[in-house]
Amino acid sequence: MLNVEEHCSFASYFVLCSAESTRQVEAIREEIHNTLKKQGHLPLHKEGTAESGWILADYGSVIIHVMAVPEWDYYRLDQLWGKSPAVVRIQ
């Protein structure tokens, strides 16, 4: 999770997740959605599919990106937003 407040006008945090397969992309998206829904948070906007390799969920101040490894390696969002401090990093 990156704190992008200083470098981004449309969000405060980016959650960046990578997955080894389309099945994992969908499982991560589903778990995040179900957990946040239980807490009363629904996405304002969603884009992408597991088959496309990239799912984005906009929760207002938090944008969640779940990406398959090829898309992760190509777009390198962690490097693009690299000046933003990491709040949490799990590898």
> What distance, in Å, lies between the first and last C-alpha atoms of the chain?
12
Q: According to the model, what pLDDT value does residue 30 have?
A: 97
pLDDT in tens, 30-86: 999 999 999 999 999 999 999 999 999 999 999 999 999 999 999 999 888 888 988
Q: What is the pTM of this model?
A: 0.90
Our CA dihedral for 37, 41, 44, 49, rounded to 10 degrees, sits at -30
Q: Does domain 2-80 have CATH number 3.50.50.60?
A: no
